[in-house]
Structure 1
Amino acid sequence: MDASCPTISVIIPSYNYGHLLPRALDSVLPQLAENDELIVIDDGSTDDTATRLAEYTTRHPRLSAVHQENAGAAAARNHGIRLAKAPYVLLLDADDELMPNALNVLRAIVSRDTEVGMVLGAQISVHPDGRERLRLPTAVPKASAKELARRYLLSKSISISHCCSLFRRDLLLQRPYPENLRSGEDIPVFCHLLVSAPVLTTEQALARIHKHADSLRHLRDDEEERALTIVDEVFSSLPTECQPLRQRYRAQRYLSLFRAALNAGEMPRAGYFYRRALRLNPLQALRWTYLRKGLRWLLSS
């Protein structure tokens, strides 16, 4: 790699996390090599984020703070990716933190294989009650684009997360985060990365990821519309050989909605979602893991 170009750009999108942002910044700054950079995108925060960033930028010249009108995490990530100068990008959430030496580990991996499109590392999940759990990355086999997409979207045997993954910037520019989504916006991007270039893994823990009960993943407003939009966004950037998976993935999204409605005790809504999945892909909907839940819904009706 060109020595005049930063090796890794760490990008932190932040919205009203001024109280936690110093933890993230302090985990990154000591690890920056001479040509690395740290970019924080303040997504229209209304707390003390701007003040905190001003304090840090006066002391750390390799930290760039950029303010934008509130537009969501996807827009903040895209903004940071466009500004980045490095060939590789690490996207760190403002409430999480890098493990010591994480950037050195990643730097060594990409220096050995400059064609790698993504590096998946281990993470330490930190739960609200203080419990911690080491999660190792899933193996990514050498396989066709269709098989890799099937494993990620349908069998869920490949897992990808922000904070403990490194992405090639040119691939992120090819498939930006869909800014019309406020949750699930990472799925189309991760799937594109997965099928576009080689993937490497390391069992080295790269980040501590703090779990929150109020995560956007748990919001269910407009959930059907959002689920179908995710399907459209995923397949809009996948190669032709992957397109036959589209209907199965649509059924999978309905089955996920069915499970969420069932767990919430919303039986009529659960039935609606299950029937939609059954029409789209009977074999998938009749797998025992879902059929058992379907019988539970039927007995409760």
Structure 2
Amino acid sequence: MTTLPEKITVSVIMPVYNVAAFLGEAIQSVLDQSFKDLELILVNDGSTDGSASVCQAYLQQDPRVQFINQENCGVSIARNNGLLRATGAYVFFMDSDDTLDREFVKTSLETAERGNNDITVIGAPYCKRGPHFTSLPTCAQMIRMDFLKQYPEIRFPARLQPCEDGLFSHQLLAFTTKVGSNPQGIYHYRHHAHQNTKQINDNCWTVIRQIPSWLQILEAFYTRHQLLPSHTLHLARFIQHEPFELRYLGMPFTPEQKNYLHDLIITFMSRVVLPTLTKSEKKQLSKPFRYFLSIQNPARFEAFYRSYCIRKKRRRAFYLFLIRFIPFTQLRRKTRKAVAEKYRP
């Protein structure tokens, strides 16, 4: 049996809700980490499928496992309650249907300590978002506990999903420049019929009705800490990424839903963000988002965006064709990768 380390370095917090089929594999991937000085805090959020029994079994097997049992309150409260129990120098929040590569914690911790990071971004897809990180999913961030304790009011917002992790990380990122990247960290995301992402895409109105709450949280946060105009661009990038790119562009909304969301974003940006966003800062936003903000008719944006995507696709194909004539293999591969990334669909 693994012995409990004298000092906990990393706390892994895992909310659990009706994932008995996958839970054992998720837990085992944490306990099998090459880095052993960790604790795993399982928070059962009122599961009805036997998940609690799986947690109890691991509680008996490994002293590094802690178990919290609560009534069904949602993933945010589960994470916050797990955080109250955590004793590690760093904390990582993990979903209970996913798994970690064996070196995930080790490489992330080494990166965090080497750079004295408050937040370490994990995983190549998320590291590519830098250097201006505006929000992160829980699977892509290891947080220094002392930094987190400086801001006890910044926790996961109750009864919100999706974007509860985006709001949490966005607020923390506003208070630090000590952000490092660990592209070597590999997180295995499991796809299945009952995962949250699929349920979110199947319930578009549920998502849209939450977005006013996101905006209220953001306005209160920026007002309370007097972060405008110093952090206006940080806020603008969040609106561009979360409500615009991930929701307006990324979800199967109806025209009615898009009209509603367009008005919501325009109103918030016009009232809270644009008055203190400088001309040079606005140029740092994406071309589609700038056009989106400049027009009142969403149908005009749809026509623009279709044309924009076609032009981008053609430009990508043209450059990839030219790259074929670069004589040096290594340079050809590097250039192809850069072009594919810049003009990705």
TM-score range, shorter chain: 0.7 to 0.9
d(CA) in 1 for partners of 2:237, 2:175? 21
Report the counterpart of residue 176 of structure 1 in structure 2: 155
Give, as a single letter, the amino acid of the residue that structure 2 aligns with 1:70.
N
Q: In structure 2, which of residues 144, 164, 171 is the aligned counterpart of residue 185 of structure 1? A: 164
d(CA) in 1 for partners of 2:228, 2:180? 22
Give, as a single letter, the amino acid of the residue that structure 1 aligns with 2:214.
I
Q: 2:122 touches 2:139 (CA, 8 Å); kept in 1? A: no
Q: CA RMSD in A?
A: 3.4
Report the counterpart of residue 299 of structure 2 in structure 1: 294
Deviation at 1:34, TM superposition (A): 5.3
Question: Is residue 2:224 matched to residue 1:236?
Answer: no
d(CA) in 1 for partners of 2:13, 2:111? 19
Q: Which runs of 5+ in 2 are unaligned?
A: 275-281, 283-287, 304-345
Deviation at 1:108, TM superposition (A): 1.9
For residue 161 of structure 2, give the secondary structure of its aligned residue in structure 1.
Answer: coil
Task: Select between 161-170 and 17-26 the one with higher mean Cα deviation.
Answer: 161-170
Deviations 1:90-115 (A, max 9, x none): 111001111011121123223324x4
Q: 2:14 touches 2:41 (CA, 8 Å); kept in 1? A: yes
d(CA) in 2 for partners of 1:235, 1:288? 21
Q: How many residues end up aligned between the 2 structures?
A: 269
d(CA) in 1 for partners of 2:61, 2:184? 30
Normalised by the length of structure 1, the TM-score is 0.75
Q: 1:92 touches 1:162 (CA, 8 Å); kept in 2? A: yes
- 1:1-301 to structure 2, matched below 5 A, reads 4-31=6-33, 33=35, 35-113=37-115, 115-122=116-123, 135=125, 137-138=127-128, 140-141=130-131, 148=132, 152=134, 160-173=136-149, 174=151, 175-197=154-176, 198-212=178-192, 214=195, 215=197, 216-218=199-201, 219-238=203-222, 239-242=225-228, 244=232, 255=244, 258-259=248-249, 263-264=252-253, 266-278=254-266, 280-281=269-270, 287=291, 294-295=299-300
* Structure with the higher fraction of residues in strand conformation: 1
Normalised by the length of structure 2, the TM-score is 0.66
d(CA) in 2 for partners of 1:285, 1:34? 45
Q: Which has the higher contact order (CA 8 A, sep 6+)?
A: 1
Q: 1:254 touches 1:274 (CA, 8 Å); kept in 2? A: no
Report the counterpart of residue 128 of structure 1 in structure 2: none
d(CA) in 2 for partners of 1:206, 1:248? 26
Deviations 1:66-105 (A, max 9, x none): 1111100000000111100012101110011110111211
* Change in 2 beyond 3 A, CA 1:17/1:242: farther
Deviation at 1:253, TM superposition (A): 6.6
Q: 1:140 touches 1:200 (CA, 8 Å); kept in 2? A: no
d(CA) in 2 for partners of 1:88, 1:67? 23
d(CA) in 1 for partners of 2:211, 2:185? 31
Q: What percentage of residue pairs aligned between the two structures are identical?
A: 22
Deviation at 1:229, TM superposition (A): 0.9
Q: 1:98 touches 1:163 (CA, 8 Å); kept in 2? A: no
